[in-house]
Amino acid sequence: MGGGLALSPWHGHGLHDGKVCLTTSFKGLGMFDTSPAPSTLTSTAVADPAAAPVDGGGRRRVALRLLVMLGPGLMVMLADTDAGSVITAAQSGARYGYQLVAAQLVLIPILYLVQETTARLGLVTGQGHGALIRATFGRGWALLSAGTLFVACIGALITEFAGIAGVGELVGLPRLATLGLAAGAITTLLLAGRYRRIELVGVAIGALELLFIPAAIMAHPDTSAVLAGLAHPISADRAYMTLLAANVGAVIMPWMVFYQQEAVIDKGRRGLSLRQALRSARLDTAVGSVITQAVMIAVLVATAATIGASHPGADLNSIGAIADGLGVFLGHTQAVTLFGLGMVGAAVVAVLVVALAGAWGMAEVLGWRHSLNDSPRRARGFYALAVGATLAGAVLVVLVPDLVNLSVDIEVMNAALLPIVLGFLLALERRALPADLRMRGLWRVATYTVVAALIGLGLFTAVQALAS
């Protein structure tokens, strides 16, 4: 290497920028340790190009590259507000009015903290979540993590396709026809490959979720009732705690961690330094965190202002029941259009993310090729897993009689799986990253406190589920 740059133990594993000293690159960010690691990179003649003065044209080019890098966080966050999450939020509004709005607001920084750590691990190590667990803790722990992912993915895919089928039934399409069309289109897109193509289509379709926001506005929520709900966000009964756990499980899901960590790798840096790529990933994750929770709040407010106000404590048992309840206040056509298209956007982008996350996780643990930038011929096992999971989810929906209760149960299950998912995430942050890229100070304290609270809620949920 020129310029007197010494090689480190991290060279060749995605940690070395090829141009910059990592310690120099991240000094002053305020979020990570800047004390040298035992074997930290050293440089006597190489400066960080990103830190060098640039003219106006250079700044515009860098800004454009930062914007182009947006996508993995936005797509995973749109998928986070999936069919099951939408139904959980609707059930929350129908049963408890605006009480759970506060929980949705609190979950914004929590979601950001978890997924920012995920993106940082992917960008810095160059390895997906399953591969990094295997390299750091061994094959047995990696298989445990992949097993957790598999359970979560199967549950999620069932709810996504059930949501799509429910929307089809709203407009008079037979369930088999709706499922066949959706599964066929998604399978074709997956087999076409190329990460950027799938991300572009996924974000475009997922943007339909924003239609829930005008639906909430049209529901004319009572401002005083909203404020009362924010002032009294807790109820002591078990049903409320179950829905609270379901809302947490609907926000932090195992497949999100696997997806975003691998997605930032597949997308690549596109000419950005590591520091710039991390800055873009944080912006991407922050914007996505706000959008996904805004959508959840919109669904909750829309149902609280309509179904919850007219039939407090209503138990919704189908997508049709939700749409019908909204239709009384919004008009049938508007309710079906806004709710139906929003649900389709939520479910389709989630199918893409969940199927890819499951395939990435298993392929990483098994040591198979697993990039979307490889053709199906070169990565047969990976594509077979993604397509197989998609088709299996569509087929299993035929056996699902009660989407709403199933969705809430699956989100509760996701909360119960949090100790495994978040435990591995924090352990990797401490073990797999060089010292100067780890969390420090208040950032570390806040993240560990939040994760400990989420793990506690997950364990509480598991005990409650076993006791019931």
Question: How many beta carbons lie within 10 A of that of residue 353, not counting itself?
Answer: 32
What distance lies between CA 331 and its chain's CA centroid? Answer: 32
More confident: 240 or 184: 184
Indicate the pTM of the whole model. 0.82
Closest CA to 163 of 214, 87, 215, 216: 87
- What is the identity of the amino acid at 435? A
CA 224 to chain centre: 32
Q: Closest by alpha carbon to 180, among 172, 168, 196, 197? A: 168
Token pair belonging to 16? 């070395």
Per-residue pLDDT band at 42 (split at 50, 70, 90): very low
Buried b (16+ CB within 10 A) or exposed e, 251-268: bbbbbbbbbbbbbbbbbe
Pick the more confident residue, 28 or 334: 334
Which is higher by pLDDT, 323 or 189? 189
Q: What is the pLDDT of residue 374?
A: 93
SS (H, E, C) 431-466: HCCCHHHCECHHHHHHHHHHHHHHHHHHHHHHHHHH
**Tokens matching residue 261:** 């960590």
* pLDDT over threshold 50, residue 257: yes
Helix (H, G, I), strand (E, B) or coil at 242: helix
Instruction: Give the sign of the dihedral formed by CA 95, CA 98, CA 99, CA 104.
Output: positive
Phi and psi, residue 246, nearest 5°: -65, -40
Q: Which superfamily does CATH assign the domain made up of 70-467 to?
A: Amino acid/polyamine transporter I (1.20.1740.10)
pLDDT confidence bin for 20, thresholds 50/70/90: very low
Q: Which residue reads 């330094």 in tokens?
A: 273
Judge whether residue 52 has pLDDT over 60. Answer: no
Tell the burial category of 146 from Cβ atoms under 10 Å away from its Cβ (0-12, 13-18, 19+).
buried
Domain edges within the chain: 1-53, 70-467
